[in-house]
Chain A
Amino acid sequence: MTALAAQARTPSGPSARPVSWRKLAWVTWRRQRAITAAALAVMAGAALILVLSGLAMHHTAARLGPGWWMQTRSTGYYSWAENLPLLLQAIPILVGAFVGAPLVAREAESGTFRFAWTQGPGRLRLLTSQLVPVAVILTAAAAGLGALIAWWLGPLTTGESPMSRWSVSRVDLFAPSLAGWLLVSLTLGVLCGAAVRRTVAAMGATMAGYVVLAYLTATRWRSNYLTPLTGPAAWSGNGTYGGHVIALGAADELTTYYAWPDGRRLTIQQLNHGTAWFNQHHIALMAVYQPGSRFWPLQWIEFGWLAALSLLLVGATLLIIRRRAA
């Protein structure tokens, strides 16, 4: 109608600029603060336990000197150290399932995306503005927690302790690794949420995917980050070989074998000979191992590929959301 069209309003206020990141930051704060705070609280709780028990443990270790753990086995530090990492392993999984999966899935399930995606920023900027701050905060917290764990494990894994920082239950708790696993879990959760669109199902898919990824890493991939070295080893009393700490994955990757001086392996029959025969032929014990000096480079390699995978997962999520029909 002409009269009304003639009244067509000039838009008031700033209309040409896109919605500012500051405004979006408030939105993220309001929407994600509860669950992010919950995740941080869990990590803070774990940190508190680590600090309290760690201080006591360091004190005891300092007081008793080397081999302290043999004397204090009964006080439970050792069994603590065996069990606590398993609980800490749960943190990345929980974050992925409870923070990551609902990010998109809850909006899809409740229909609120029909509101959120038709406001100013559009769906891609909205997702990015929600995900990035949460990811940064939680990954940084995980790094901090990992550093704390490294400190905590210190007295337990030095010297001739049979507890190794390379063991499967512990190696991914150090800062680079833990941060990487949390990041990948979070982004995997977001992807599952975007693909599955049902919160509970997405949580399940996230956890399943994480477990598969972690299993493959532990059994196959981790020992191949850098080609292991091969070298002569010697039995010493507590299971370390020639002063090196050998990389552990699943037990059978700890490879040791007897070899001729020229390097050939002994056959099964030849292994049945006695010690005299071994000494006569200068048979040596060889080991395939990762030297201790590679511990931190390997950690950073793990973080590196996990971070790269996280980026891919985010990219896939953005692609799915971009093409999603309502």
Chain B
Amino acid sequence: MLEACNLGRRYRRTWALRECSLTVPAGHVVALVGPNGAGKTTLLHLAVGLTAATKGTIRVLDGLQPGCADALAGIGFVAQDAPLYRHLSVTDTLHLARNLNRSWDAQAATSRIASLGLPPGKKVGALSGGQQAQLALTIALAKRPQLLILDEPLARLDPLARHEFMSLLMAAVAEDGLSVIFSSHVVAELERVADYLVVLNGGRLQVAGEVDDLLAGHRVLTGPADLATAAKAQLNPVRTSVAGAQAHLLCRTSGPGDPVPLDFIAQPVSLEELVLAYLRDPSVAALPGPEMAVPA
């Protein structure tokens, strides 16, 4: 779906993204997380051809150049804050989008609008933030893309709107076999939705992998603080939290068969905990292949 090789993008003197090599497989719902300014929007804009790479290459779908006609037709994109023409009505916006795309499922679009309860004659500027986001998503889905890219789609939505947005999205994934890449700086609630995770931190790729594999590949070892400090060198934890008598080490593991050190107990780790641990320490990474960067 998306292949980046040593991808970098510089704005004047700052590198918004650098040395990003990533292969995202098709048929997944990919969550792209990272703090603000980590380069998520830059990566997404590179993928849809709004920006060009300063260094490295990026290919989308089946080796297409982002921004070429086939890529534009095969990717549905909703930018941050779901920009639409504020003076057009809902119907006019749909008509406009229909005329801007090769293929268009008009019936699906109108039925979605109806089921969402969006008044067709209302101007886009008069809709709420959640409604605008729903409309933008409907448009992106109606062009029947193979890949949907969403830049922080939930940022301005209230909890109900978030749920409705996600349920619309997941239903489309279930129905059409769509691949999705969406960025978020909120990590909670990702676990329900995403099955592939990419973490960007400070413009660099930190984590990339299937959620199931990442969760199966990490565990928290809880044990006495003094033993934990001694075992650190050997266990190479991603994150350590030490108290007076007790310590937790978030470590990588090869699977359920991996022996637990004496006096320690092993517990599974949640996605949120995992992501936060990696975000706190930019020097560690969990990347596929031989590129795994471990702290010295």
Contacts and interface: CB of A to CB of B under 8 A. Distances in A.
Interface of A: 1-2, 4-9, 11-15, 17-19, 23-24, 26-27, 30-31, 110-112, 114-122, 126, 323, 325-326
Contact of B69 (A14, A115, A122, A325): A122
Interface string B238-263: 00000000000000000000000000
Given A8-B26, A8-B146, A17 B102 contact: yes
A23 B136 CA distance: 20
A263 to B, nearest CB: 63
A287 B121 CA distance: 69
Interface stretch (B79-87, B161-169, B222-230): B79-87
A118 B103 contact: no
A89 B69 CA distance: 42
A326 B51 CA distance: 5
A257 to B, nearest CB: 58
A5 B49 CA distance: 25
A9 B85 CA distance: 30
Contact of B103 (A2, A12, A116): A12
B10 to A, nearest CB: 10
A11 B144 contact: yes
Interface in B129-144: 136, 143-144
The CB with the most chain B CB atoms within 10 A, among A4, A26, A118, A126, is that of A118
A272 B7 CA distance: 81
B99 A5 contact: no
B102 A118 contact: no
A207 B136 CA distance: 36
A118 B26 contact: no
Contact of A4 (B49, B136, B177): B177
B27 A11 contact: no
A31 B48 CA distance: 23
Contacts of A4: 27, 173-174, 177
Nearest to A117: B50
A15 B102 contact: yes
Contacts of A115: 79, 83-85, 136
A5 B177 contact: yes
B100 A2 contact: no
Contacts of B105: 12-13
Contacts, number: 118
Interface stretch (B70-78, B184-192, B268-276, B286-294): B70-78
Contacts of A19: 99-102
12 contacts: A1-B195, A4-B174, A7-B177, A14-B102, A18-B69, A18-B102, A19-B99, A26-B95, A30-B95, A30-B96, A111-B79, A112-B84
A33 to B, nearest CB: 12
Nearest to B26: A5
Contacts of A117: 49-50
A27 B173 CA distance: 30
A118 B177 contact: no
Interface in B40-65: 45, 48-52
Contacts of B26: 5, 8
A117 B102 CA distance: 14
Interface of B: 11, 26-28, 45, 48-52, 67, 69, 72-75, 77, 79-81, 83-86, 88, 92, 95-105, 136, 143-144, 146, 173-174, 176-178, 195
Contacts of B174: 4
B99 A122 contact: no
Nearest to B88: A30
A120 B50 contact: no
A263 B178 CA distance: 86
A9 B45 CA distance: 25
B27 A116 contact: no
Given A15-B102, A120-B72, A114 B79 contact: yes
Given A2-B27, A4-B177, A8-B146, 5 more contacts: A9-B177, A13-B105, A31-B96, A118-B50, A120-B100
Give me the 3 closest cross-chain CB pairs, A-B, nearest first: A7-B177, A5-B27, A326-B50
A247 to B, nearest CB: 48
B248 to A, nearest CB: 32
A111 B95 CA distance: 20
A13 B99 contact: no
Nearest to A30: B96
Nearest to B79: A114
A26 B84 contact: no
Contacts of A12: 103, 105, 144
Nearest to A26: B99
B176 A14 contact: no
B64 to A, nearest CB: 13
A23 B73 CA distance: 15
B78 to A, nearest CB: 8
Nearest to B84: A115
B102 A325 contact: no
Contacts of B49: 117-118, 122
Given A5-B177, A325-B51, A120 B101 contact: yes
A13 B144 contact: yes
B45 A120 contact: no
